[in-house]
A and B are shown apart, each in its own frame.
Chain A
């Protein structure tokens, strides 16, 4: 597996950046000629992970969100979304559908969406250090235009 393309993006945890982040990642992966459904899945998963950083990782502060996207020669997209916020105590519990620690109108479905819209997801977290969510999706058709 070779990485044929890669990009990094850092931005402040302002809610207005949610649309910026998902649009930017989706623009980057356009070179793989994804289907509309695949692109919609990726946008939604990125929106979930970025929103979690804004809402949960940095609840009362503005922090930085780091996104790294890699594309492999086998049409796999690897998206890493990282924060240096409060971290997750119990990852297994956090990933259960409908679980939320928020008192707002949250459905507790963010991780369930990431899990079902991407091929797989890995979550690493340390309390008061931060959280990294890594998601992968292999696109169905095409081969990467390496130019």
Chain B
């Protein structure tokens, strides 16, 4: 579901599988816990292992954007697979400048 790694002040959360309303809370808890403890300069959400995502995934990204902003950090959304680009672009999160 999610694996985290911390180095050089960057917390990377690698997401796996399908992200929906059922799966999102556990992912959110793990990332927010680590964000609070480690207070990273940047949080990277790595979507390379995500096979499916609905609007719950968009809520997850926007929520992490708020959380990491609260501690003065930056969010980056990295390695978005081709099949998720349609929902990502519809969501408008591109305008937050987080897509890499």
Residue B5 lies at the interface, judged by CB distance under 8 Å to chain A: no
Residue A116 lies at the interface, judged by CB distance under 8 Å to chain B: yes
Residues of A in contact, count (CB < 8 Å): 26
What is the size category of the interface that chain B forms with chain A? 20 to 34
Contacts of B52 in A (CB 8 A): 22, 40, 43-44, 47
The residue in chain B whose Cβ has the minimal distance to the Cβ of A110 is: B55
Q: Is the CB of A105 within 8 A of B54?
A: no
Contacts of A104 in B (CB 8 A): 59
With A15-B22, A106-B59, A109-B90 given, name 15 new contacts (CB 8 A). A18-B20, A19-B18, A41-B86, A44-B52, A48-B54, A51-B21, A55-B21, A105-B24, A106-B55, A107-B59, A107-B62, A109-B55, A112-B90, A113-B55, A113-B87
Interface residues of B (CB under 8 A from A): 18, 20-22, 24, 28, 52-56, 58-60, 62-63, 83, 86-87, 90-91
